[in-house]
Structures are given as C-alpha cells and as structure tokens.
Structure 1
Amino acid sequence: MDSNAILLVDQIYQILKHQIKSQLYKENEKIPSIRKLCDQYNISKNTVISALERLIDEGLIYSKPASGFFVMEQKITPRFKQANIEMQNIDELWLMRRQLETFNGVINVGDGFPDTAWFELLPLNKLLQKSIQENRTKLLRYGSKYGYENLREILCLRLSRLNIKTAADNILLTNGVNDAIDLIIRYFVESNTTVLVDSPIYYPLLKKLQLTHCKILEIPRLADGPDCDVLEYYLKNKSPKLFFTQSISHNPTGTHICAEKINIINTLCKENNCLIIENDIFSEYTEIKNRLSSHSNFSHHLYIGGFSKIISPSIRVGFIVGEHHLIDKLSDFKAILHVNSSEYAEQFICTILQSKFYEQHLTFFKENLKLSSKLALDNIKKLGGQVFYESTDSLYCWASFEHLDFSHEMMNRAIENKLIFAPGYIFSLQGQQYNQWTRLNIGVAASPNFYENFNHFLNNEH
C-alpha cells in the first residue's frame, strides 16, 4: 500500500470514527455498506475494507456475516485519578511509578513511551487472532529454553541488516529488555564487581546495579558517544568487568556513537577484557547501521534488543545475542529464575514481524517521530531551553532551562501546573551535576498542550 492509499484509508477511518463518536450512528446500528461507502467517497473497495478493519481493531464496529457492519456498544471509560501525587523521595522509583499511572490532565513531560498515535497502522487485535489460530496447538507447552525458534530465526535475518551475524542458537529470548538486563546483572555482577555505565544513564539500570552494591563508574556521554579518554583510564586502572551502553538513540540524551568511536570502544574493551552490554531497544527508530556489535564474534559483546518501544509495552519480549556457550549458560540461569519466557508472546511478536503491516507501521512510525522531533525542538527553543543534542530519530531529548533547578519545591510547583518532569539528577549517581537537566519525551514535547502549560509555568517561575 503506497503512502497515498494509506492517507486515503486514514481519512475514511477518521470520518467514520467521528460519525460513530458523535453518535450519528447509534449502538448496534448498521453503518453504510462497503459498496455505498465506495460510491459516496469515490474510493476503492480495498480502501474501505482497510478503514473498516481499523475500526474493528479499535473496537468501534463489529461485523455480522451477510448482514454488514454495526456500531459496537461503547463502554464507559473509567475516570482517571486526579493529580494527587506523592512528593516524598523524588528518585528513580518515584519516576517509575509515574510511568505506570495516568492522572487527569497532567502532562508527563519525561514519559517513557512513544505516542500511541504512532501505532495506528498496526492492527494488534487482528494479528493476535492470526497468531492464536496458527499456533493453537503449540500454546500448551513450555517450548525451547532459548525461546520460540521461528522468532529467533527471523531475528537472525533482521540483525544481519545491522551487520550482526548470528545464528538462532546464539539468541536467548527473555521477558522484555529489562528482564534481559536483570538476567545479565544477576549472572555477572557481585558486590565486588566493577561496572561501567554511561552518564547520564538509563535510570532503571542504575537502580538494578545499586541493588547489587557493586562499584559503578560513570563514563560521560558526549554528543558523539562516551568519553573515550575516561573510558580508557577506567579500563586500564579499575579493571571493570562490564560496560553498559547504547550505540544509538541513547536514553536519555538521544545521542548516537559515531563510527570512529565504535572502533575505539571495541578495541579498548577487547584489550582490557571488558564485556560490552549493548542495549539497542531503539534499533528500529533509525537508518543508522553501525552498532558496537556489528561484525562481532561476540567474544566481548552481549547485544540486547526488544519490542516494547516499537510494537507494545504490554507485549514483553526481549532478546540477548552472544557467544553460544554463554547464551547456553544464561538460558539455564533463566530457567532457574523463570522456568521459561512466554512463548505465547513470542509467537505473537513473530506473527507481527512477518506481517505486511509491520513495514508499513515502521515507515509511519518513523515519519511521525521525525515530524514530532522538529516540532518538539521548536517548542523547547521557544521556551528558552538548551538542547544537549538535536536528533530526529530518538524518543528523548536532554534539555535544560536557565531558571529551573528541578528541586523538590520546583517539582511540586510543576505538578500544581499539571506537569510531571523527569529530573536529571536521577539519571546519575552524581546527580547534582544534572540538576538543571531533564529528559523530555519527543512526542509529548511536540504537543501544543506541552508548550502552553510549560510556558505558563515558566512565566510563573520568573
């Protein structure tokens, strides 16, 4: 389906959706037939069918064989909780709780997830039914300790696009990326272990490492990747065992490691026997092909990926790629902790990746991300913000504002103005260095509501 056809489908979908929401058609009332819609809007049958499938997928209509399409009974939407937010101990756990809650009218500026509108071309309900029908007999067993084999085979093909050469037996499926990270930390890290991390760092990773009481050393993240001088010093003088980093779309700065630094980091870590843990959760966001694990034999790499940021945060499937002997040990370790990962979810992801809708979804998603990035950067600059790195293929922007220090008092005033920030200090052990910085979600920062609320808040602060 070309871009014009997709646009036409969206227009018909929006028209019918508006008519249903405005109760032009009542509950259980029949909507116009496919033929009538074709004549009314002078469009093809396939365009109408695609629009109707989206309405079915969204639960707005249902079909009766040989009768047509009818308006679904509209469920009463539960009221969201009002903004009564606990303000004690504003730390990593505080922000994690905010990610899992919805408050009426409050804008979560540092939200961890993409805009739901970017997923409109992915008919998850339809694909779920397809997955269940195709795999019905396979859902009554645990499956391989490595995870669903068909998905691992597909991952091999997709990873080859990044010059990551691997086989299915070198891939271990997990219950999401965070589970993959947790598995690696439990396997490798003890209280006397030294590990390296980016600074600022993905804050759930920081929290997981702190629970082990290990020695955490931070490598400053620059616009082109980690500071290699600091990295070299720590590698040669502190004997770290692991280095956790992200090659592209770094959380929270949105930066990418340049090709030159990829070579330097790989050489330094290999020479100093440090295993690179590469988290590539945002891999599908960009056309950049260089990764730390590209062309690797995995003697000093473990590569982590997943689907929560591109398909759904509710379908928890991640994966680890590494040398087979280590993957085999990690699979046994996974069995001790979880028995197995969810083959039900893995088969669902496999169905999605093989469907015609997935590539359409990627194109639509990336176009929205690029457009939102430009709008977000314009909003931030109009608000007087300073951006650490300008990107059009990252979910986050790392920004500071001259008169905001993200103190407890300021955060409280922000919430009174319907704004929840992700304060910079929770993204580092040495939090005070980022007191004036915050992570902004690109989709949120692109919205007019963000600009209006933030501008009003800044004027009050001044």
Structure 2
Amino acid sequence: MDPATDITINASSGVPMTDQLVSGITHLIRTRQLLSGAKLPSIRALAASQQISRFPVIEAYDRLSSLGMIVPRHGSGFFVANHMGGEDAGGGSDPRLAEEESNQILQQFNYPGETLKLSSGFVPEAWRDLEGITQTVRQVMRTDPSSIVDYAMPHGDANLRLQIQMRLAIVGVEADVSNIIVTSGASQGLDLIVRFMLKPGDTVLVEDPGYYNLFGLLKLQGVKIVGVPRLANGPDVDFAEHLLKSIKPKLFFINTVFHNPTATNVAPQVAFKLLQLAQQHDFTIVEDDIYADFQATPTQRLASLDQLDHVIYLGGLSKTLSSSLRIGYLAAKRELVKDLVDVKVLTSLGGSRFSECVVAALLERGTYRKYLERLRRRIRDTLSTAVQRLEQHGWEVFDEPSGGNFVWTRVPHVDDSMVLVEQALKFGITLAPGSYYRPNGEASPWVRINTAHADDPRALRFFEHMAGYRGKR
C-alpha cells in the first residue's frame, strides 16, 4: 500500500484537512517512508482513499510544492523532491543541502491563523507597540520624506549607528561607530560573515541544538558543520577542547543570552574558557546576541570580555520591536567591517533607509525603552506560568529559563519529538520537532515552546494529553 494513502484524517479535530495532509505527507518524507523520487498518489486517488473532496488534496499538493517537499511533473503527477539530508548534510555546495532548513522556516508562515503555532519564534502581534511604531512612522514621513524613496548608506543611518553604539555600551561592548554596520536583520549579518569569511570545505563549530537557519546557510555555502553540545551553562567547552585537537575551525557560532532553543545563558567561566580556546586555536567567535533586549539586567557577553578582538557581535530589533522593519547590526574590528560593507554593497546595495530612520527615532525618543519594560514584564509573567504548567503535567524542562520567551522541554517517556508533533495536530497545534534544531537533523526528544502561547486552552489540553500518552509510533 502507498504510505500516502494511509494518512489518518480526523474531520472532527478542528484542524483543516489541508493542514493534516501537509503534515502527514511531510512526516512520511522526513521519516523516509516516502523516499526521494517516489510518486505520490494522484489527486483523485488520495481524495478517494481519504473519502474527502479533491480540493484539500489540491491545496495540500500546492503547498508541499511551494515548500519544496514535492515536485509536479507535467503529465506524470507529483513526486517527492530530491532531499539531500541525513548523512550527506554536512558538506557540499549543492543548494539542495539547505532545503530542509528552508522548509522548516517556511512552515512558520504557511499554516492558517486558526492553528496554534506553539513553537513559533515570534512575539505576538498584540504584545508589540503598534501605536508607538505608527506614530513614529508618521513623524519620519513628515520630517524626512526623502527617506521613503532613497537608499540607505551602506554602513547604515548615522543616527541609528550612534544609538546602537550606546546600546552596545549597556552590555559592556566598547565600540566606535566605525565598528558598526546596520544589517537587514541579524540574518543578513550572518550571511555577510559566511560569504566573506568562509569558503566551501571550511569547518565551523555550531551549537547542538542551535539555530536551524544558520545551519541551512552554512550548508548552502558548502561549509562543514561540527556540533558542540549546548549545556545549561553554555557550550560544552571540554567537548570543544577535545574537538580542537583534531580539527581547525574558522568560526564558532554561539548564541549567548536566552539561547535558541534552550533559553540558557553562557556562564562567565564558560565565556572565559571559550575565549582562551579562540586565542589558542586561532578561530573567531560569532556571538549571536539577538535576544539581548529581553534581558533587563545584562549578564557577561563574550564581546565585552574580548572587546571585538576574537569576537564578532551580532544583535537586532526584529525579535522585539518589529519583524517588518528588519533592523539588525554587527560590531567587529574596523577592517573587517569595511570588508563586510563591501560585500553588503555587492549583494544588496544597502538597507531600508526608511526603516533605519524609524528605528533611530524610536530609540532616540525613548519609545522603545518604555515598550521593552512592558514587554519584559509580560514575558516574565508568561514564562513562570508556562514552566509551572509543563511541570504540573510531568514535562521535563531542560533548564528553567531566567527570561526570554522559550522553554526547551520534553515528555520523559517519549524518545522522538515527532510523536509530539503528530499528537499536537489533534489539538489544532503546529509544533516543530527537536530535530529541526540539530546540525544534521538528528532525532531529539526535545521541543521548543513559545511561552506566549503556553496558557492557550489547546496547549493546556495537549500538555495534559501527553502526560498520559503511552502510544507507539
């Protein structure tokens, strides 16, 4: 029997049939029950096997095609795309190597609004300062209308860079404006670093678990990825030191504060050891501090200890202020910043001058500071509640977070979090499996929960359900 016809559709679950089909077929592809090149049932055949109309099947196949999971062939039907995951995921420059990571990101945007995105990385829209942003947009349009149509300067708006310089000082990083480049989100900062500092075949260290978009970017460039376990106090420095006896990495990518996805912070003793290793083995640390503004009282940063000698510092405001304004920044040695600006000009000319002017005004007027105070209080309340809810239902928390909006958690008797993903669908919930956050997609029992959604009735029913779940895949 074709595995695709064996998907179970629950018409009374409240989850649209299209979503259930997309999730079911995606699971079959990821678990290799449907192999690359396999032909899927025709639209008519799949609809008949599920006893549903053809329209949900048409929509599901269209969405799977957009995600790159399947490919249509004129006159022949639909086939599983040629995925290059698993053992081959660590090298090569074929763009298909990053396909899995791209799909993971796209799935955050492709589920309809009525499903609860429990693993989402976004602050809810209702929590954002829409009024403050709107007022500032109008102010910039009145006072600087040319910003609506002009290119931004390659380094970024001068006022914004000055504001960023002051923000860096808050976390102990002493940087001149010449050390700073404004980027289109922190993701562009990562892209510029990878493009300029790495070539196919180079080796880098990454955290395991870590940021899946980074993994995809590195694979796209043919860079070899070596994972270092992330512990409660930061990367496993003993493991890293052992690796450095046999490999010579160019870079080590580290998420310092409210790490994605474990929500842990790098402890001072770990930070000192990491910098010692960087000096001894001549590699550069890329410190991703994208969640810095969630933290009310700054803890130790690698860049504050090192002052940009062996560290490149990345930050941004997309996670807190606005995902649409897309403002990130990078601080590094002046010579490196100059080179990265050249790459930025070649690849994108410049950023959005209008977005940069709006964000600069928000920072100058204190609007952003007041908003952050409200946001931190709200996150603090939901975080403590989320941890309490999970532990009440027997879930295990990796390490109780001190802030941020993530909890890295597991159900003790479930070995593969794909089980959680499948069960979550029954409650109208979309959940990302822990394998998404591992360098080469290895199975994991852990999942990331966005605490903003943990008190939703659907989430509470799901937490309780999994506490008593004893089924097998």
TM-score interval, normalised by the smaller of the two chains: 0.7 to 0.9
| Structure 1 partner of 2:315 | 305
Alignment RMSD, CA only? 2.2
Distance 1:380 1:343, change over 3 A: same
Aligned match of 1:417 in 427, 434, 456? 427
TM-score by length of 2: 0.76
The residue aligned with 1:360 is 370
Letter in 2 for 1:349: V
Partner of 2:6: none
Tell whether 2:42 aligns with 1:108.
Answer: no
Q: After TM superposition, give the deviation of residue 307 of structure 1 in Å.
A: 0.7
1:122/1:363 Cα in 2 relative to 1: closer, same or farther (>3 Å)? farther
For 1:4, the equivalent position in structure 2 comes to: none
Q: 1:270 to 1:376 in 2, by over 3 A?
A: same
Residues 423 and 83 of structure 1, relative CA distance in 2, 3 Å threshold: same
Q: 1:455 to 1:83 in 2, by over 3 A?
A: farther
Q: Choose which of 191, 203, 221 in structure 1 pairs with 2:212.
A: 203
Q: Distance in 1 between matches of 2:375 and 2:313?
A: 24
Alpha-carbon distance in structure 1 between the residues aligned to 2:457 and 2:417: 25
Question: Partner residue of 1:386?
Answer: 396
One-letter code aligned to 1:324? R
1-side partners of 2:109 and 2:365: how far apart?
Answer: 30
Q: Tell me by how many angstroms 1:411 deviates.
A: 3.0
Rate the CA distance shift 1:448–1:355 in 2: closer, same or farther, 3 A.
farther
Residue in structure 2 matched with residue 132 of structure 1 by the alignment = 141
Query: 1:11-90, aligned counterparts within 5 Å?
Result: 82=16, 84-85=18-19, 86-87=22-23, 88=26, 89-90=29-30
Q: Which residue, out of 306, 329, 338, partners 1:319?
A: 329
Q: In 2 relative to 1, CA 385–122 (structure 1 residues): closer, same or farther, beyond 3 Å? A: farther
Structure 2 residue aligned with 1:271, among 280, 288, 291?
280
User: 2:227 maps to what in 1?
Assistant: 218
Q: Deviations over 1:219-277 (max 9, x none)?
A: 11110111111122223431100000011100000000011111111121122111110
For residues 390 and 290 of structure 2, what CA distance do their matches in structure 1 show?
Answer: 25
SS of corresponding position for 1:446: coil
Distance 1:104 1:406 in 2: 27
Contact (CA 8 Å) 1:306, 1:318: kept in 2 or not? yes
TM-score, structure 1 normalization: 0.78
For 1:196, what is the secondary structure of its paired residue?
Answer: strand
Look up the equivalent residue of 1:343 and give its one-letter code. Answer: R
Q: Which moved more, 1:405-414 or 1:362-371?
A: 405-414
Inter-CA distance 224–407: structure 2 relative to 1 (3 Å threshold): closer
SS of the counterpart of 1:422? coil
Q: Which runs of 5+ in 1 are unaligned?
A: 1-79
Structure 2 matches for 1:191-270, cutoff 5 A? 191-270=200-279
What is the CA–CA distance in structure 1 between the aligned matches of 2:256 and 2:324, rounded to whole Å?
25
* CA distance in structure 1 between the aligned counterparts of 2:407 and 2:311, rounded to whole angstroms: 27
- The percentage of aligned residue pairs carrying the same residue is 27
In 2: Cα distance, 1:313 partner to 1:138 partner: 19
Kindly indicate whether the alpha-carbon contact (under 8 Å) linking 1:122 and 1:357 is maintained by their aligned counterparts in 2: no
Amino acid of the structure 2 residue aligned with 1:389: D
Q: Distance in 2 between matches of 1:223 and 1:321?
A: 27
Q: Report what 2:3 is aligned to.
A: none
Aligned ranges 1:151-230 → 2 under 5 Å: 151-230=160-239
Letter in 2 for 1:117: A
In structure 2, what is the Cα distance between the partners aligned to 1:381 and 1:204?
30
Change in Cα spacing, 1:143 to 1:441, as seen in structure 2 (3 Å) is closer
Aligned residue type for 1:181: L
Match of 1:445 among 447, 450, 454: 454
Residues in 2 aligned to 1:156 and 1:407: alpha-carbon distance in whole angstroms? 41
Alignment of 1:340-355 (within 5 A): 340-355=350-365
- 8 A Cα contact 2:313 2:330, kept in partner: yes
**Alignment-mate amino acid for residue 356 of structure 2:** E
- 1:454 alignment partner AA: F
* Distance verdict in 2 for CA 1:246–1:460, change over 3 Å: closer
Q: Secondary structure at the match of 1:257?
A: coil
Q: What's the secondary structure of 1:237's corresponding residue?
A: coil
After superposition, the C-alpha distances for 1:26-79 in whole angstroms (9 at most, x for unaligned) are: xxxxxxxxxxxxxxxxxxxxxxxxxxxxxxxxxxxxxxxxxxxxxxxxxxxxxx
- Contact preservation (8 Å) 2:428, 2:458: no
* Partner SS, residue 84 of structure 1: helix
Partners of 1:125 and 1:81 lie apart in 2 by: 34
Describe the shift of the 1:274–1:352 C-alpha distance in structure 2 as closer, same or farther (beyond 3 A).
same
Q: In the alignment, which of 127, 146, 167 is matched to residue 155 of structure 2?
A: 146
Task: Give the superposition deviation at 1:115.
Answer: 2.7
Deviation for aligned residue 1:414? 2.6
Does the CA contact (< 8 Å) of 2:386 and 2:455 recur in 1?
yes
Please give the alpha-carbon distance, in whole angstroms, between the structure 1 residues aligned to 2:374 and 2:120.
21
Letter in 1 for 2:401: S
The AA in structure 2 aligned to 1:419 is I
**Is 1:377 aligned to residue 311 of structure 2?**
no
**Bigger Cα displacement from structure 2, 327-336 vs 180-189:** 180-189
- Identify which of 95, 108, 128 aligns with 1:99: 108
Moved more, 128-137 or 445-454: 445-454
Of the structure 1 ranges 421-430 and 153-162, higher mean CA displacement relative to structure 2 is found in 421-430
